[in-house]
Amino acid sequence: MREDTGIGTGTGTSTSDMADVVIVGGGPNGLLLAGELGLAGVRPVLLERLGGRSAAAKANGLVGRVVEALDLRGLYGELAGRGGPPAPLPYYQFSGIALELGTLPENPMHTLPVPQARIEEVLEARAERLGTEIRRGHELVALAQDADAVTVEVRDPDGRTYALRTRWLVGADGGHSSVRKAAGIAFPGDTDDSFSSCAAHVVLPDSLLAPGTGELRLPDSPVARGPLRPYAHNRLPAGVFTFAEMPPGSGVHVVATFEWDRPPGAPGGPMSFDALRASVRRVLGTDLPMSPPEGPGPHPLRRTDGVNSRQAQTYRAGRVLLLGDAAHVHSAVGGPGLNLGLQDALNLGWKLAAQVRGWAPPGLLDSYEAERAPVSRRVLMHTRAQMALMRPGEGISATRELLAELLDGDPGRAARAHLAALLAGSDVGYGRWYPRVRALIGEGRAGIDAALRSARPVLVRLSDDAPAIAGWGDRLATVTARPAVPSAAHSESGADAAPLPPAFVVRPDGYLA
Ligand X SMILES: Cc1cc2nc3c(=O)[nH]c(=O)nc-3n(C[C@H](O)[C@H](O)[C@H](O)COP(=O)(O)OP(=O)(O)OC[C@H]3O[C@@H](n4cnc5c(N)ncnc54)[C@H](O)[C@@H]3O)c2cc1C
Strand arrangement, sheet containing 189-202: 234-236, 239-245, 253-260, 189-202, 301-311, 328-329
Q: Residues 12-51 vs ligand X: string with x where CB under 6 A?
A: ------------xxxxxxx----------------xxxx-
Task: Judge contact between 289 and 307, C-beta under 8 A.
Answer: no
Q: Residues 345-364 vs ligand X: string with x where CB under 6 A?
A: --------------------
Interface residue with ligand X among 227, 285, 335, 442 (CB under 6 A) is: 335
Cα–Cα distance, 223 to 238 (Å, whole number): 9
Q: Residues 152-191 vs ligand X: string with x where CB under 6 A?
A: --------------------xxx---x-------------
Cα–Cα distance, 403 to 381 (Å, whole number): 17
Shortest distance (Å) from residue 119 CB to ligand X: 9
Shortest distance (Å) from residue 323 CB to ligand X: 7
Shortest distance (Å) from residue 377 CB to ligand X: 16
Cα–Cα distance, 41 to 43 (Å, whole number): 7
58 is a site residue for ligand X (CB under 6 A): yes
Give the Cα-Cα-Cα angle 15, 17, 22 (nearest 5 degrees).
Answer: 90
Per DSSP, 433 falls in state B
Give 343-346's long-range contacts (Cβ < 8 A, gap of 24+): 343/65, 343/66, 343/69, 343/372, 343/375, 343/425, 343/509, 344/29, 344/368, 344/372, 345/29, 345/30, 345/32, 345/33, 345/36, 345/172, 346/32, 346/36, 346/69, 346/508, 346/509, 346/510
Amino acid present at 37: L
Cα–Cα distance, 295 to 427 (Å, whole number): 44
**Residue 221 or 343 having the CB closest to ligand X:** 343
**Residue 304 or 313 having the CB closest to ligand X:** 304
**Residue 8 or 444 having the CB closest to ligand X:** 8
108 is a site residue for ligand X (CB under 6 A): no
Shortest distance (Å) from residue 49 CB to ligand X: 4
Interface residue with ligand X among 39, 45, 59, 479 (CB under 6 A) is: 59
Shortest distance (Å) from residue 222 CB to ligand X: 30
- What is the distance, to the nearest Å, from the Cα of residue 176 to the centroid of all Cα atoms in its chain? 17
69 is a site residue for ligand X (CB under 6 A): no
- Of 54-62, 103-111, 409-417, 496-504, the window that binds ligand X (rule: CB under 6 A) is 54-62
Number of residues counted as binding ligand X (CB under 6 A): 31
SS (H, E, C) 116-175: HHHHHHHHHHHHHHCCCEEEECCEEEEEEECCCCEEEEEECCCCCEEEEEEEEEEECCCC
341 is a site residue for ligand X (CB under 6 A): yes
Q: For the segment 267-296, give every residue that binds ligand X (CB under 6 A).
A: none
**Residue 172 or 489 having the CB closest to ligand X:** 172
96 is a site residue for ligand X (CB under 6 A): no
Task: Judge contact between 305 and 313, C-beta under 8 A.
Answer: no
Residue with nearest beta carbon to ligand X: 27
Task: Judge contact between 124 and 40, C-beta under 8 A.
Answer: no
Shortest distance (Å) from residue 64 CB to ligand X: 9
**Residue 34 or 437 having the CB closest to ligand X:** 34
Q: For the segment 493-512, give every residue that binds ligand X (CB under 6 A).
A: none
Q: Give residues in contact with ligand X (CB under 6 A).
A: 24-30, 47-50, 54, 58-60, 116, 139-140, 172-174, 178, 324-325, 332, 335-339, 341
